[in-house]
Amino acid sequence: MAVVTQVLHSEWTKIKSVRSTVWTLGIGFLVTVALGALISALVNSKYGDLTTAERLTFDPTYVSFAGMGLGQLALIVFGVLVVSNEYSTGMIRTSLAAVPQRGVFLFSKIAIAAALALVVGMATSFLTFFVGQAMLDGHRASFGDPGVARAVVGGGLYMALIAVFSMGVATMLRGPMLSLGILMPFFFLISSILATVSATEKIAEYLPDKAGQKVMQVVLADDKAPYGPWGGFGIMVLWVVAALAGGYLVLKKRDA
């Protein structure tokens, strides 16, 4: 236990001493809140133009999370940098020499980064919701409405899982450019393209971002997904577990 505590402290020191990792979390927070507020204000101004069907399926909570898609970019970068910085600088050899138990090393790194991402994610989700609802004015949702608290808490969990998933992928690929070169197109191009093509839209529903974002939705009247909010969240958790398992196997079998 003493060894784990020391490794956890070491990983915390590494993260806070690298400014780029801290800045990415701050940028993610600001972008998500600001974009969510802007889009909520625009939607509020155009609410009168919505059709009757669109008003019936209007989800004010999910509207306030409109900036989450861009904000997750920062969480992806954060997750990748936490892992790949040591490989790019060569510090990974020193780290593994100091902590030869690779499972302990990886667990500690993930635990500290995940905890930090969770704190930032929860703060981002709650502030985004309340600011967004203020912008929606008379069309707002209340935190006490059915499903809203789950959506807001789920938003924070989603952001944390995005970071952890990125850490697992970065541990497998080791290099920052390769990791980002795969993760960015995956979340911002491939996932969206598959979701808009009728032949592949069913596949897109099981991708980590599309499934995970379901937990942030309150109104599901026109939803065709074969699972509910927590079902989608569970699918995302499985993706994260698979990424971490793959990262651990690569770290265990390959030299630094």
User: pLDDT digit string (tens) for 88-102?
Assistant: 777 888 888 887 788
Query: How far is residue 132's CA from residue 16's CA, in Å, rounded to a whole number?
Result: 30
Dihedral angle sign, alpha carbons of residues 59, 69, 198, 202: negative
- Which domain does 202 fall in, by range? 2-253
Query: Does residue 164 have a pLDDT over 70?
Result: yes
Query: How far is residue 217's CA from residue 229's CA, in Å, rounded to a whole number?
Result: 7
Residue 246: predicted pLDDT: 95
What is the CB neighbour count within 10 angstroms for residue 20? 10
Phi, psi of 144 (to 5 degrees): -85, -5
Structurally, the chain folds into a number of domains equal to: 1
Side chain identity at residue 35, one-letter code: L
Side chain identity at residue 226, one-letter code: P
Residue 221: predicted pLDDT: 65
Q: What number is the average pLDDT over the span 141-162?
A: 95
Residue 1: predicted pLDDT: 62
Cβ proximity of 209 and 187 under 8 Å: yes
Residue 252: predicted pLDDT: 86
Share of the chain above pLDDT 90, in %: 56
Cβ proximity of 166 and 76 under 8 Å: yes
Alpha-carbon dihedral angle through residues 182, 223, 41, 161, given to the nearest 10 degrees: -40
Q: Confidence band (pLDDT; 50, 70, 90) for 2?
A: low
Cβ proximity of 59 and 151 under 8 Å: no
Cβ proximity of 150 and 156 under 8 Å: no
User: What pLDDT, in 10s, does the model give residues 178-228?
Assistant: 999 999 988 888 888 888 888 888 888 899 999 999 999 998 766 677 888
Kindly report the pTM of this predicted structure: 0.92
